[in-house]
Structure 1
């Protein structure tokens, strides 16, 4: 998936770990290349160039940052996160359990939790919930399905559970969100 300059810039500004190793950013003035999650001072946007690979940035004369160390990475960890994200995208509507996800990936559930948190900075359930809420918003705005149908379609076992999670994330109930956004 090709990322826009705006989405890459937002990832850099937010130090978003989810984008690490999906792209790199280089700062022209310092000649340093970093991961998007680097906690160094945010550079001026005009001084930033984006690269799909670290080797391309190094080829253009940039050196790896000594803070975020984009050159020292276990790529298998990021492949693992891509596997989990793929499961979430394809099966968000199912009542997924930690044991099921761990079994599909081939890790113990404890290792799965630790590694996912280490790589993304978030819990598994945070990301699964985010995907379910995004999918439910799409359905709220583009369909005439009832709230109950949407709740079950995006993987919740009850409407009340869905309403609680949606309200916590969005600040209002799904029905109020639908009314407000459709106006």
Structure 2
């Protein structure tokens, strides 16, 4: 990975201006990658301009791929259309990394370089769930782990997994697990106690 990262070029002011102006004249001279999304683009890509500190520049698509970035679905920097399944992998990875933050369909579409409608339709076709449902599932899984491993309050855990409305979090948790957060914690504590008792015997 270090060797791949060392191929990154300096982000000069000229290249940065080409990126924020979507300047097609620079296509072919470099590609730029965004560290937060792990996606790389042509300079002319019409996607939302990234934060400068998150940008890495490479001479070509091959180097960006070697550094484990994925090609943008919108501007196709490798010259090939990105398969839907790979695009959905990008989206799920972004959700897995950012589920604690506020996420809307529009934000996901911006980050993963597509339209909200197309992203929603493609994600559901590939995974069987909508992007919003996947975000909810990811948050509830993280909450389950925190309930078992920490003594944090339900309200604190709700915020820690990106859900700042505690009553809504509790309703959603019960919908997914069949139990309230408190019941889930108590059930797991009883199981742990029973396991300890068996081992001690």
TM-score by length of 1: 0.58
Residue 88 of structure 1 is matched in structure 2 by 95
Kept in 2: contact 1:166–1:172 (CA 8 A): yes
Gaps in structure 2 of 5+ consecutive residues: 1-80, 191-201
Give structure 1 stretches of 5+ with no counterpart.
1-73
Matched, 1:166 2:179: no
Runs of 4 or more above 4 Å deviation: none
Identify the match of residue 100 of structure 1 among 99, 103, 107: 107
Contact 1:95 1:157 in 2 (8 A): no
How many residues in Structure 1 have an aligned counterpart in Structure 2?
110
Q: What is the deviation of 1:157?
A: 2.2
Counterpart position of 1:116? 123
Q: Structure 1 CA distance, aligned partners of 2:124 and 2:187?
A: 35
From the CA coordinates, give the structure whose radius of gyration is larger. 2
Answering whether residue 183 of structure 2 is matched by residue 176 of structure 1, we say: yes
Question: What TM-score does the superposition give when structure 2 sets the normalisation length?
Answer: 0.53
Query: How many angstroms does 1:144 deviate by?
Result: 0.9
Q: Does 1:140 align with 2:147?
A: yes
Query: What is the deviation of 1:75?
Result: 6.1
Pairwise CA RMSD of aligned residues? 1.3
